Chains A and B, each alone.
Chain A
Amino acid sequence: MTNSDQRSVAIAAESELIGLLGKEIFFPTGLLGFPSCQRFNFSRFNPGDGSPSPFFILESADQEVSFPLIHPDFVAQDYPLQISAEVTSSLEAQSTADLVALLIVTVRDRVEDTTVNLQGPLIVNTVSLIGMQLVVEEYPLRHSLLVPAAQ
């Protein structure tokens, strides 16, 4: 049942995201818990004071819902992802080099409690502009963004 045809994604660098700015990304199956949110606009998060920010915003064009995102490079030193042939094909990717990974940021009441969802990365094809949320059970659902993990 397990498909061994898995390839590791060379997660495209953050600079690759520039090409996605202002674009509409289509998530055929929505995000988990948001099955009817399929169309999202991708933009950079611009702080009011004009300072540079590592965050992006994925804003639903179907409902009033938006998700803060960050590139994995800002979060984890080592975050390999295995992408199955099924995923590559669902995203209509010719090559895994076209794929970028983005992580959803969960902002909580206290700033220091902010976490990043390593278990549910969004994978986006920068060419076809199709995306999906993967579930990678071996990574944590809540990885602290600001407080180093005690390990």
Chain B
Amino acid sequence: MLILSRRVGESITIGNDVVVKVVALSGNQIRLGITAPREVRVLREEIFNAMREENRTAAAPDSNRKLEDVGKRLRSKTPERSDDE
């Protein structure tokens, strides 16, 4: 891992078009400003990892077999849906 020291207000560049700037520092929290092309998705790592894991679980090959049972259960439940929320 490359480790760099930066002061508040300073930045690093990644590739040709990603800039990460240290915006503020308070206690053990750092605020970062990220400039990146719109096709580059910027996420907190834990959000990315959880979403990736969820997608992988959803893609499990035996999902489709069980989907039929889920559909039956959903149908039997649907009439109970109420709009009073």
A and B physically associate: yes
User: Is the beta-carbon distance between A48 and B68 smaller than 8 angstroms?
Assistant: yes
Give B83 Cβ to nearest chain A Cβ, in Å: 7
One of A8-16, A18-26, A102-110 at the interface: A102-110
Interface residues on B, range: 35 or more
Of A33, A57, A133, the contact of B53 (CB 8 Å cutoff): A33
Give A59 Cβ to nearest chain B Cβ, in Å: 10
B85 at interface by CB-CB < 8 Å: yes
User: Is the beta-carbon distance between B47 and A137 smaller than 8 angstroms?
Assistant: yes
B2 at interface by CB-CB < 8 Å: no
Within 8 A of A (CB), among B60-82: 60-64, 66-75, 77, 81
User: Is the beta-carbon distance between A141 and B58 smaller than 8 angstroms?
Assistant: no
Enumerate chain A interface residues (CB-CB to B < 8 A): 1, 28-29, 31-34, 45, 47-49, 51-55, 57, 64-68, 74, 77-78, 86, 89-90, 104-108, 111-112, 114, 117, 119-120, 133, 135, 137, 141-142, 145-146
Enumerate chain B interface residues (CB-CB to A < 8 A): 33-35, 38-39, 41, 43, 47-48, 50-64, 66-75, 77, 81, 83, 85
